[in-house]
Structure 1
Amino acid sequence: MKKKLQILPSIIAYFFVLLFCYASVSKILDFENFQLQLAQSPLLSAYAGFISYAVIVLELLISFVLLFEKSRNVGVYASTALMSAFTIYIFLILNYSDFVPCSCGGILEKLGWTEHLIFNIICVFAGFLSLILVARQEQHLFKRTLLIIVSTNILSILLVIFLFISSEDIIKHENNFTRRFLLYPVVEDKIKNLDHDQYYFAGNDGKHIYLGNKSYPQRLTTVDYDLNVITQMRIIPDSINHLFKNLRLQVLYPYYFLYDGTVPVIYRGKVGSRNAETISYKEAYFSQMIPLDSGSFVVRTMNRDSRQLSIASFDIHKEPKIKLFDHILEKQADGVFDSDGQLAVSENPRRPIYLYSYRNQFLTIDHQFKVKKKLNTIDTISKAKVQITSMSDGRHKMSAPPLKVNQNIAAYGNLALIQSELKGKFESSEEWKKAKVMDIYRTDRQEYIGSFHIFNRRKKAMSDYDMTDQYLFVIIGNELIRHKYRKPLTDYLNRGSRKPDPRVGTH
């Protein structure tokens, strides 16, 4: 028995050699996937680049040290400390992370997180046992061995905890363009076929979603949340003898608005009624518009004096009807192309949002037209990469295709879903061909929550999407798809959110 106990430390040492050699070689052979897994870790995302190399180097170095009898004890100390780090990492994943990622890769890829935790604890115990058995052969080293074991393992545990805390802060508040793909924060649960693929979201009222149509701009389509009943109505304006260029439709229940800012004209009608009256004609030119109530709007227009894009209020009941707020959009180059973006609206409470297309920023705007928050997306393009050529008449034009950062935004409560156009660190180009990437942000403070994919269907990509309090609705080709929210989105939507008005539209 005594002889067997003397052999046991050597057996444990060679076990660690096999374990770390196999693990490190597996990581090297599938290094890109290993980095991607680390990037999706809820604990170490911000350090995926450094840690992916450090872990492999450590495992190979420890294996090498364990091969030699003179340095074997040092190798077992290091092995035990490393396994303690892996153990606390899994413990934090299971108990303190926002989500639990899939248990992928490594020597025990068939095991789940709990099984991994048990295996790691056994390895830590084996390391302790090996060192204690060696120390008992030389009694004067026993206390020192115990002190080194305890101190190295505590240090490794504290290091992982530190990395976890700092990584979370970096990912959420100072992200270095490392996306964290959440496990199914939305789940597709129902599909409705539409008659063609030219629809876009025009709003909702808490029970129905409303669709506009690019091919038939005077058609208002209503679909209930259960995607069972579709009704269509042809809008009949009181005057239509205009040269329309971009006739669009929006719903803010109980009204719908048909408009073209190039004419410019705004029609208003009541949902359910075909007849729409002209409420504004040649009073304000605009490129985008969001209704705030039955007669007031926030618009994006061109300042005639500066020839720069500007956000303005437009109220048909006031004089002057339009008021410019030039401070909202910040000029970087020409004040037109560099400030281009999407004017949208968030509900609960209802407030305008502006998403820049060519830089990593979006704005929340209050009812006094003050910028409430300037928030950044996780990519690193803080200055619009647009090349501008000045014309002899004072106008500007792009001399090269710009680098587009953000494509679209939808928001509800304190959450925003932004469709990104840029690939982050450790992301697969193949995935970008198959899906659109949605990044989730807080709108009340600077915080990135995570990302998810909306995958193409029948070789068609998502064309539009909208958020409500209950569902994410998506249009792909001629399909209207409903998604249910899951954690952590449900937590964020329910946290501190007042009950929404069921008869108010979104966007």
Structure 2
Amino acid sequence: MNSGTNIKSYIVQVICLLYMLLFVYAGVSKILDFENFQVQLGQSPLLSAFASWISWVVLAAEFITAILLLIPKYRKAGLAGSLALMTVFTAYIFIILHYSSFIPCSCGGILEKMSWNVHLAFNIFFVLLSILALTLNGSLRETGKTNFKYAPSFKLMAVIMVLSTGFVVLLFLSSEDAMHHRNPFLRRYPHHPAEYSASIDLKYNSYYFAGHDGNRIYLGNYDFPSYILSMDSNLRHHKSEKISFSPGKIPFKIITINVQPPYFYLYDGSVPAFFRGDLKNWKITKEFKGIPYFTRAVPIDGTTLAFRSNNSKKLANVLGIFSEDSIPKINYKRDLLQKQIDGIFDTDGALLYSDGMKKMIYLYYYRNEFIVADKTGSLSYRGHTIDTITHVRLKVSALKNGSKYKMSAPPLIVNSNAAVSGNLLFVHSLVQGRYENEKLWNKSFIIDLYDLKSKSYLLSFPVYHTGSSSLYSFIVTDSHLFAIIGNDLVAYKLNHAIRKEIKDSQ
């Protein structure tokens, strides 16, 4: 054997050794912290839907390839496997950097401190090493050939790289479709979709969000229903307004204020009463006459509102539309809410309206479903939150011969509250997903974000506890998410991508 052959053999052996060290170290690191490895894959924008089996496949592939590289007889197979694995890893990082919806945290082990771009360069270097080793290994076997002696190796490498890249692309497309439309209860937590910007102490827990006009938010107070507190998005420049209204002898119980420029609305479903006023002078100017009793209501425009009442059979909830300009004024939509147990508690939820989409949204509290309907109450579609709880888990007892119902055990709450802005639905979920950090759930509220236009799940982000661990309500403007947590009013600034989604839908 000549010196040239010896050098080629030595280079191949060194490359094989480097790969064995890399794969063994990477595999052992994953085994030692396997749970965290699966969590990282579960948070990946490419592999989320396949994290459970991909984690085992990657481990097996790394160890098997290292063993093949150790045995001279199977060295070519080991180098081919090394090229395939490193091409897969390289294609994965390239797609992460250029085509994914967000860039996740880096992998663990020796590569944890690398940026994604440095990691990409590292992988490309090892791809080139495997190409060099396969080329030299082929020349060692075909020393008697002088023309195109490397062609078989080049063809093999080209096929390996094309198939490996195609495999990653297929996984990416399949995972994206699954995550957005057939989510297997895997949340995505991109970096900083909403960042804390300000907070103030409201002193009392009787405040609630009345609405916003883009630049200012408005807070109502159940203890002082005639007064409205407003402030800018930085929670400064406070201003107090007093509603000019002479209700006479109306037996109000719980007055609620809703601000939707250019109007504000004052209502109490137990009376029932519904009034409209002008934001310019805070005076009541119109009464909606003939409105039925209601338990939820949201204005649609100056003459129309959506409501929920208990006027259905056995006091079951029913949605309806009230319009001053139509005959009849009341139009019940009895097919919208779907009963599972009693039609009362099992259909409880939040009623919202998106002015940007001109759609009414009803989110169930105890199951993974929401309803989207147009402003006339006609069903557009039924959507689902990403958790897997399709049937309510509660027990209901009938009292006074069926004239009254009461929960006989604490229910499992799936969706605690919600807000809508443009085509985006923000849901406060109480159900922990797969591969999620327990510590994150212990110190924050998880908000899931859905695109009502594309009928898809987008991402999730935390809103952290303050001095309290109770999130009473929240509201979303064009640029911020505001939350009342205990007595604290907290502002989170939405990132550019979310703000652009909201703006484009208006």
Q: Mark yes or no: TM-score above 0.5.
A: yes
Alpha-carbon distance in structure 2 between the residues aligned to 1:315 and 1:490? 32
Alpha-carbon distance in structure 2 between the residues aligned to 1:73 and 1:293? 72
1:199 aligns with 2:202: no
Alpha-carbon distance in structure 1 between the residues aligned to 2:24 and 2:449? 39
Secondary structure at the aligned position of 1:403 is classed as coil
How many residue pairs get aligned? The number is 497
Judging changes above 3 Å, is the alpha-carbon distance between structure 1 residues 116 and 240 closer, same or farther for their aligned structure 2 residues? farther
Deviates more, 1:357-366 or 1:463-472: 463-472
Alpha-carbon distance in structure 2 between the residues aligned to 1:33 and 1:228? 42
AA aligned opposite 1:161 = V
The structure 1 residue matched to 2:30, chosen from 27, 31, 35, is 27
Deviations 1:311-349 (A, max 9, x none): 112235666443211011122222222211100121324
Judging changes above 3 Å, is the alpha-carbon distance between structure 1 residues 389 and 219 closer, same or farther for their aligned structure 2 residues? same
Residue 233 of structure 1: how far off its partner (Å): 3.1
The structure 1 residue matched to 2:183, chosen from 171, 175, 180, is 175
C-alpha contact 1:238 1:277 (8 A) present in aligned 2: no
1:439 corresponds to? 448
Alpha-carbon distance in structure 1 between the residues aligned to 2:14 and 2:312? 82
Judging changes above 3 Å, is the alpha-carbon distance between structure 1 residues 288 and 240 closer, same or farther for their aligned structure 2 residues? farther
Alpha-carbon distance in structure 1 between the residues aligned to 2:118 and 2:228? 55
Alpha-carbon distance in structure 2 between the residues aligned to 1:241 and 1:24? 76
Aligned runs of 1:255-334 on 2, under 5 Å? 255-271=263-279, 273=281, 276=284, 279=287, 283-316=291-324, 320-334=328-342
Residue 481 of structure 1: how far off its partner (Å): 3.0
2:70 corresponds to? 67
Deviates more, 1:242-251 or 1:8-17: 242-251
C-alpha contact 1:375 1:445 (8 A) present in aligned 2: no
The structure 1 residue matched to 2:373, chosen from 365, 375, 379, is 365
User: Which structure 1 residue ranges, 5 or more long, are not aligned?
Assistant: 499-507
TM-score under structure 2 length normalisation? 0.91
2:53 corresponds to? 50
Aligned runs of 1:464-503 on 2, under 5 Å? 464-495=473-504, 497-498=505-506
C-alpha contact 1:172 1:448 (8 A) present in aligned 2: yes
1:397 corresponds to? 406
The structure 1 residue matched to 2:79, chosen from 76, 101, 115, is 76
Secondary structure at the aligned position of 2:380 is classed as strand
Judging changes above 3 Å, is the alpha-carbon distance between structure 1 residues 150 and 296 closer, same or farther for their aligned structure 2 residues? closer
Deviations 1:5-28 (A, max 9, x none): 321111111111111111111111
C-alpha contact 1:237 1:267 (8 A) present in aligned 2: no
Alpha-carbon distance in structure 2 between the residues aligned to 1:20 and 1:242? 76
AA aligned opposite 1:208 = R
AA aligned opposite 2:445 = K
C-alpha contact 2:209 2:220 (8 A) present in aligned 1: yes
Deviates more, 1:300-309 or 1:119-128: 300-309
Residue 241 of structure 1: how far off its partner (Å): 4.7
Alpha-carbon distance in structure 1 between the residues aligned to 2:134 and 2:325? 84
Name the Cα RMSD after superposition: 2.4
User: Which structure 2 residue ranges, 5 or more long, are not aligned?
Assistant: none
2:464 corresponds to? 455
1:345 aligns with 2:353: yes
Alpha-carbon distance in structure 2 between the residues aligned to 1:119 and 1:459? 46
1:232 corresponds to? 240
C-alpha contact 1:186 1:485 (8 A) present in aligned 2: yes
AA aligned opposite 1:419 = H
Residue 166 of structure 1: how far off its partner (Å): 0.6
Aligned runs of 1:144-159 on 2, under 5 Å? 144-159=152-167
Residue 210 of structure 1: how far off its partner (Å): 0.8
1:119 corresponds to? 122
1:354 aligns with 2:362: yes
C-alpha contact 1:45 1:171 (8 A) present in aligned 2: yes
Alpha-carbon distance in structure 2 between the residues aligned to 1:246 and 1:321? 24
Deviations 1:288-325 (A, max 9, x none): 11122334321100124453211112235666443211
Deviations 1:216-237 (A, max 9, x none): 3332111133432112234464
Residue 251 of structure 1: how far off its partner (Å): 1.5
Secondary structure at the aligned position of 2:110 is classed as coil
1:415 corresponds to? 424
C-alpha contact 2:367 2:389 (8 A) present in aligned 1: yes
Deviations 1:48-101 (A, max 9, x none): 111112111211222222222222221121111101100000111111112222
C-alpha contact 1:363 1:373 (8 A) present in aligned 2: yes
Secondary structure at the aligned position of 1:488 is classed as helix
C-alpha contact 1:440 1:450 (8 A) present in aligned 2: yes
1:16 corresponds to? 19
Alpha-carbon distance in structure 2 between the residues aligned to 1:225 and 1:143? 66
Alpha-carbon distance in structure 2 between the residues aligned to 1:487 and 1:253? 25
Residue 161 of structure 1: how far off its partner (Å): 0.8
TM-score under structure 1 length normalisation? 0.91
Alpha-carbon distance in structure 1 between the residues aligned to 2:74 and 2:312? 78
Judging changes above 3 Å, is the alpha-carbon distance between structure 1 residues 349 and 145 closer, same or farther for their aligned structure 2 residues? closer
Residue 455 of structure 1: how far off its partner (Å): 1.2
1:501 corresponds to? none
AA aligned opposite 1:13 = C
2:438 corresponds to? 429
1:254 aligns with 2:262: yes
Secondary structure at the aligned position of 2:482 is classed as strand
Alpha-carbon distance in structure 2 between the residues aligned to 1:304 and 1:138? 83
Deviations 1:387-419 (A, max 9, x none): 334443254433332222111111122111111
Residue 429 of structure 1: how far off its partner (Å): 1.9
2:344 corresponds to? 336
1:505 corresponds to? none
Alpha-carbon distance in structure 2 between the residues aligned to 1:193 and 1:11? 64
Judging changes above 3 Å, is the alpha-carbon distance between structure 1 residues 215 and 28 closer, same or farther for their aligned structure 2 residues? farther
Deviates more, 1:268-277 or 1:150-159: 268-277
Deviations 1:107-157 (A, max 9, x none): 211110110111101111111111211211121784433333222222111
C-alpha contact 2:91 2:165 (8 A) present in aligned 1: yes
Residue 283 of structure 1: how far off its partner (Å): 4.6
Alpha-carbon distance in structure 2 between the residues aligned to 1:438 and 1:171? 16
2:388 corresponds to? 380
C-alpha contact 1:362 1:377 (8 A) present in aligned 2: yes
AA aligned opposite 2:416 = Q
Aligned runs of 1:122-137 on 2, under 5 Å? 122-137=125-140
